[in-house]
Chains A and B, each alone.
Chain A
Amino acid sequence: MNNGLDSKIPGGPLEKKWSKHKFDSKLINPANRRKYEIVIVGSGLAGGAAAATLGELGYRVKCFCYQDSPRRAHSIAAQGGINAAKNYQNDGDSVFRLFYDTIKGGDFRSREANVYRLAEVSANIIDQCVAQGVPFAREYGGLLANRSFGGAQVSRTFYARGQTGQQLLLGVYAALSKQIAAGNVRMHPRTEMLDLVLVDGHAKGIVTRDMVTGEIASHAGDAVLLATGGYGNVFYLSTNAKGCNVTATYRAHKKGAYFANPCFTQIHPTCIPVTGEYQSKLTLMSESLRNDGRVWAPKAKGDKRPPAQIPEEERDYYLERKYPSFGNLAPRDISSRAAKEACDDGRGVGPGGLGVYLDFADAIKRLSEPVIRERYGNLFDMYHKITSEDAYKTPMRIYPAVHYTMGGLWVDYNLMSNVPGLHVLGEANFSDHGANRLGASALMQGLADGYFVIPATIGNYLATQTGKRPPPDHAEFKKAEEDVLARIKKLLNINGKRTVDSFHRELGLLMWDKCGMARNDAGLKEALNRIKEIREEFWVNVKAPGANEELNQALEKAGRVADFLEFGELMCLDALDRKESCGGHFREEHQTPDGEALRDDENFAYVSAWERTDGTPVQHKEPLVFENVHLAQRSYK
């Protein structure tokens, strides 16, 4: 039934799997490590941590990013925090509880063994970061402080003001800088990976474009690690940085890597609403705000009064009403849908009625304004900059926005894809968050993969590969370089009448409407047709000016959008196949009488891994087996 997908989950009891696997894994002796060249694409938490750690172990590492410095990877933007099962608060947390919350939060569509491992190493991550000098928030007694995030009833989230991702990434960047200075890592910023190269069926390197000179070059390695982040920008508007792309993973997909669960995307409930068509990105207001903010919409349809004039009894604190035990901290998918429901019902606020309130009045009354300022000051400032509204005086307006992608390249327990040698880390893989990621768990996963998992598992592959690294002028590299260059020439020569952004916006709107917060059979089929049409027009009517041999931002974008135009189709296909609702994937045909997601464990408890072919993509199913948790309808009531 699993069509040759071997997840390589070790045997034995759940709590022993990772230790046993580490013991069983092959080691490379220190003197031999420098004989291996490892190509790492991405310098975010996952890629940067992997590069620093593997460099320190003595491997020779090449690391790539598209920004001008590894310190600017998109991980930098994470605000709220990072989870770890430290139980410093003595509030009943444990590795098993973090594991359970993550499996349940993911709506039972992730692998038990991977998630357990994640929970297990979470504590080491905090230790590691503290040792590097990450200035986490502390209590007056000098101990580390915690806050709560959605989907949890314990306080296990560590944070550094509203800039947790920045501080964690700067820790990674510092460790990476040390390895660069030591000569163990060679860093290639402003360099974009445009193809994966296979030799005898194994991933043995990449082809890149130097974004300043346009030079196309080959980099050979004994193994390739992709840690290139998520594909949320397929929706054009998202909370991701402008450069986030699917290119690296999609080109690997075209070379044979299976893409798993592409339809699992996360819509974050608390973002600043869209204001206009010119808008280039959406801004997240961290979920941590829901620790103190109360979400509400007017009870009456079309109520246009300013919030202060709507009396208490005419407000609907809908999360508290519908989910009394989790209240405002209900998980993201559920909170987002509830906001959409209120707006679809005509009770939305702000321009276009696409917004609900996040109100701090009670918290300010209870704790005082300075306390709220200390906790969230930078978020309130950011809100003020964008909207010119003062959230200390009037509630924030928020609306859901695309934020994270749970889907990604399929990997086994070693983080290796079905293509031997190709490993995938961080948001770019599919492995740990199922159909919905809990807040503060992506940072945890990125660092777990980079600092602790890949250094232990990569030996299993490398040990079989001694002396097999091809030279970078191997025929396969030459061919890949020619293909890359031909595609660039083709894009530059179309010289049509529409800009890249106009295509991207059109695709994004379509994906948001048909493959966003709610999906249905007819809509997805319509999207599949439309995407083909948009793509066809793109290839005859796009205008990417300039040349390859220069810094050419329009060309960079064109290449990425061309990939999104193929990838969007795969997302819709996956969404169409999954005739159930789970986590962020809400199929309107499959809901409970009170509008909650209705899973179908009998038929859909599998990972859907897509293989690219010349015709329709072929689906492989990895069945999900639950031995330690009881499959239940997720309830936060």
Chain B
Amino acid sequence: MNFKLRVWRQENPKSEGRFANYEAPDIPSDASFLEMLDIVNEGLILKGDSPIAFDHDCREGICGMCSLVINGTPHGPEKATTTCQLYMRHFRDGQTIHIEPFRAKAFPVIRDLVVNRAAFDRIQQAGGFITARAGSAPDGNAVPIAKPAADLAMDAAACIGCGACVAACPNSSAMLFVGAKVSHLGLLPQGQPERMRRVLNMVKTMDNEGFGNCTNHYECEAVCPAEISVAFIARMNRDYAIASVRESVE
């Protein structure tokens, strides 16, 4: 297959970016999107041009390192699929493909298609944990957890932390990411003691990092490769409301 690429190139965080055009000829339809970029990069290197920088690692849809906005959609056109799991057979032969970085104030571009998502780490540090000192844990079966609750916690915990939700949101909101973590931990009995502090601190950090508010567009859910449900945002909002009331009373 043959493709035309329009790719965002930006040397460093301070420089101005621009789109550049490349040809991607003779791409096997079984190649993944990133393998297509590998092939283009091999050509660029041999020509003495600088290869296109993009983030990736596991290439099996789980580490959350790959990103890219492909033809306007984070992670491209396939539902519930990361860029690394997207295959060229889903594109038309001869098609022009636009490739941009995830864009959000809180995710500054580092180079080309690589962005800085450290804000997510800082939100996690603000409260995304259950305190459990190694060595002091009770037996794993000491507290039975009903299967539906455990399953729902797992649905929320499946978030891969890629940031596509932020990139898709017109307000660059991180509510789906934060909602998933708050829900995962808040649904489990172990997560109760820190539940209120957790939601307050994580939401506060999210706001400070420059993520926008949720105005119910649900673009986040539509692009999420892990199919995290927006119901977790509602759950977080409930927890947040309760926690704020309690905080003001105390």
Known: A71-B64, A280-B34, A451-B134. A543 touches B59 (CB 8 A): no
- Quick one: which of B60, B65, B146 contacts A382, CB cutoff 8 A? B60
CA distance in complex: A126, B140 (Å): 6
- Quick one: which of A69, A141, A242 contacts B161, CB cutoff 8 A? A69
Contact with A along B106-140 (1 / 0, CB 8 A): 00001100101110110011101111111111111
CB distance from A13 to the nearest CB of B (A): 24
- Quick one: which of A127, A175, A502 contacts B140, CB cutoff 8 A? A127
User: B28 to chain A: which residues have CB within 8 Å?
Assistant: 275-276, 278
Answer yes or no: B6 CB below 8 A from chain A CBs. Answer: no
- Quick one: which of A131, A173, A174, A181 contacts B137, CB cutoff 8 A? A131
Answer yes or no: A539 CB below 8 A from chain B CBs. Answer: no
Answer yes or no: B234 CB below 8 A from chain A CBs. Answer: no
CA distance in complex: A177, B118 (Å): 12
- Quick one: which of A74, A135, A187, A382 contacts B184, CB cutoff 8 A? A135
Q: Are A175 and B139 in contact (CB under 8 A)?
A: no
CA distance in complex: A242, B78 (Å): 23
CB distance from A83 to the nearest CB of B (A): 13
Answer yes or no: B62 CB below 8 A from chain A CBs. Answer: yes
Q: Are B63 and A142 in contact (CB under 8 A)?
A: no
Known: A135-B188, A280-B35. A181 touches B126 (CB 8 A): yes
Interfacial residues of chain A within 527-559, with CB under 8 A of chain B in the complex? 543, 545-546, 550-551, 553-554
CB distance from A357 to the nearest CB of B (A): 20
Q: Interface range on chain B: under 10, 10 to 19, 20 to 34, or 35 or more? A: 35 or more
Instruction: Give the nearest-CB partner of B162 in chain A.
Output: A72
Q: Are A138 and B145 in contact (CB under 8 A)?
A: yes
Answer yes or no: A455 CB below 8 A from chain B CBs. Answer: yes
Q: Are A550 and B130 in contact (CB under 8 A)?
A: no
Answer yes or no: A124 CB below 8 A from chain B CBs. Answer: yes
Q: Which of B39-47, B93-101, B213-221, B238-246 contacts A (4 or more CB under 8 A)?
A: B39-47
Known: A126-B140, A551-B53. A67 touches B65 (CB 8 A): yes
Answer yes or no: A189 CB below 8 A from chain B CBs. Answer: yes
User: B114 to chain A: which residues have CB within 8 Å?
Assistant: 551
CA distance in complex: A141, B110 (Å): 49
Q: Are A241 and B191 in contact (CB under 8 A)?
A: no
User: B126 to chain A: which residues have CB within 8 Å?
Assistant: 181
Q: Are A178 and B63 in contact (CB under 8 A)?
A: no
CA distance in complex: A381, B227 (Å): 13
Answer yes or no: B55 CB below 8 A from chain A CBs. Answer: yes
Contact with A along B130-164 (1 / 0, CB 8 A): 11111111111100111100110110011011000
Which residues of B approach A to under 8 Å, CB–CB? 11-12, 28, 30-32, 34-35, 38-39, 42, 45-46, 48-51, 53, 55-65, 78, 80-81, 85, 87, 89, 110-111, 114, 116-118, 120-121, 124-126, 128-141, 144-147, 150-151, 153-154, 157-158, 160-161, 184-185, 188, 190-191
Q: What are 10 A-B interface contacts by the 8 Å CB criterion?
A: A136-B150, A143-B141, A160-B157, A241-B59, A281-B59, A284-B60, A499-B46, A545-B49, A545-B50, A551-B110
